[in-house]
């Protein structure tokens, strides 16, 4: 999707914050290595730029979801090891191996596809074990069979063994201990059969912060890299000094006074008993400002004040109740995520309004929104809207 550079809507990502977050996480993980999870365009922040900042901060691996995401990073001259966090389609494994990417394997079909191309390429596989989440991964019995088959074939490489937690971000969790026990039992089976597991990894953001015994050789960190807590576990984020890196803003494109009692936007459900000034910002649900926000009390920042969404969010525009703000004018900055004056709104705030998670808010931000990584670049671009 082409960024809409012709309208005053933008996201600013502070790469110094990303780098510092990576430094903090690398320190917390030590002596384990840090895998920065940059799938879904680095949770909406920009995969290439974030990857470079994370590596500068100490990350030694990058985690992605798709082959296309991995290729994008390699074509950007990023040389760090890249791990596909799921098993690719069997027909795609040759291309994955051709590029030298590491990938998950957890089925005989996936392993067979790797064996078939091993004459030309050496597949680097991470055996994923299902320890109780029941999404993807091999059972312990299936995993042991796969591990034997890999170990017996000199053309194949068992580069790592891993699993994934289901509840490590839950303050009432007891299942994580069970999963860790199941994972350790599988590692013991490999040791019993003299199979080298390679790089052992299990911890996500929550486990990095809460369960040091899960760190093993590598930790895979996503949401914490972007400065947000793995919901609902948030206190450690603030304690460690991790900060959000992304702000989302727009400029008011229109102001209008609406008579008392008249509704605004689709459905005309938002009405004031007195005459009201409304501002229009050229951003909507096609950009990731989810329609439900206007129904659940969400706010924006305007002239350093919190102001409510007015009426239904539309595809490309949103109305804002300007209330009694003095001297509001076209071109004023509206903050959806970020700080203005002494007030701040975070992606976590928006997620709370929607009873969802920060991940959904950040990854919903459309590619229509241009991303800027320096104040100078952003300010120069904004000059056209003066």
**Which is the catalytic residue, given 39, 52, 124, 249?**
39
Tell me how far apart the alpha carbons of residues 215 and 207 are, in angstroms, rounded to a whole number.
8
Which is the catalytic residue, given 211, 266, 278, 285?
Answer: 266
Kindly provide the residue ranges of all beta strands, DSSP E only, lying in 87-211, ordered along the sequence.
102-105, 124-128, 157-162, 199-201
Residue 363 in contact with residue 43, Cβ under 8 Å? yes
Placement of tokens 């991303």 in the chain: 371
Q: Give the Cα separation of 306 and 298 in Å (integer).
A: 9
Q: Which of 229, 208, 160, 173 is nearest to 30 (CA)?
A: 208
Instruction: Tell me the CA distances in angstroms from 42 to 65, 108, 174, 183, 300, one per residue in order.
Output: 11, 31, 30, 28, 24
Q: How far is CA 292 from the centre of its chain?
A: 21
Q: How far apart are the C-alpha atoms of 59 and 358, rounded to whole Å?
A: 22
121 catalytically annotated: no
> Any catalytic annotation for residue 43?
no
Which one-letter DSSP state was computed for residue 153? -
Q: Does residue 325 sit in helix, strand or coil?
A: coil
Q: Which residues are catalytic?
A: 39, 266
């Amino acid at each position: 999707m082409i960024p809409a550079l012709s309208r005053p809507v933008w996201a600013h990502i502070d790469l110094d914050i990303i780098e510092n977050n990576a430094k903090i996480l690398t320190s917390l993980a030590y002596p384990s290595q840090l895998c920065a999870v940059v799938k879904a365009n680095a949770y909406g922040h920009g995969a290439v730029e974030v990857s470079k900042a994370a590596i500068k901060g100490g990350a030694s691996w990058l985690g992605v979801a798709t082959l296309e995401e991995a290729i994008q990073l390699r074509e950007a001259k990023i040389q760090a090891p890249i791990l596909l966090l799921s098993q690719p389609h069997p027909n795609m494994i040759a291309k994955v191996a051709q590029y030298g990417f590491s990938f998950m394997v957890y089925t005989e079909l996936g392993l067979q596809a790797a064996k078939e191309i091993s004459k030309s390429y050496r597949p680097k596989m991470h055996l994923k074990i299902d320890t109780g989440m029941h999404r993807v991964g091999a059972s312990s019995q299936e995993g042991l069979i796969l591990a034997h088959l890999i170990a017996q074939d000199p053309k194949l490489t068992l580069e790592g063994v891993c699993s994934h937690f289901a509840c490590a971000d839950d303050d009432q969790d007891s299942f994580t201990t069970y999963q860790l026990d199941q994972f350790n039992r599988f590692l013991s089976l490999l040791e019993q059969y003299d199979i080298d597991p390679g790089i052992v990894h299990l911890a996500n953001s929550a486990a990095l912060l809460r369960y040091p015994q899960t760190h093993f050789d590598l930790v895979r960190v996503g949401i914490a890299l972007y400065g947000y807590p793995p919901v609902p576990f948030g206190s450690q984020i603030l304690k460690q000094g991790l900060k959000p890196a992304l702000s989302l803003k727009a400029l008011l494109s229109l102001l209008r006074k609406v008579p008392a009692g008249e509704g605004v936007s689709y459905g005309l459900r938002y009405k004031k008993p007195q005459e009201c000034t409304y501002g229009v910002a050229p951003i909507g649900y096609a950009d990731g400002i989810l329609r439900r926000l206007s129904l659940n009390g969400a706010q924006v920042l305007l002239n350093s004040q919190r102001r409510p969404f007015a009426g239904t969010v539309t595809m490309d525009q949103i109305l804002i109740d300007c209330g009694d703000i003095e001297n509001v004018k076209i071109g004023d900055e509206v903050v959806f995520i970020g700080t203005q004056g002494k007030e701040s709104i975070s992606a976590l705030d928006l997620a709370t309004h929607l009873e969802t998670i920060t991940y959904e808010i950040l990854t919903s931000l459309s590619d229509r929104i241009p991303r800027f990584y320096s104040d100078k670049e952003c300010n120069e671009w904004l000059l056209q809207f003066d």
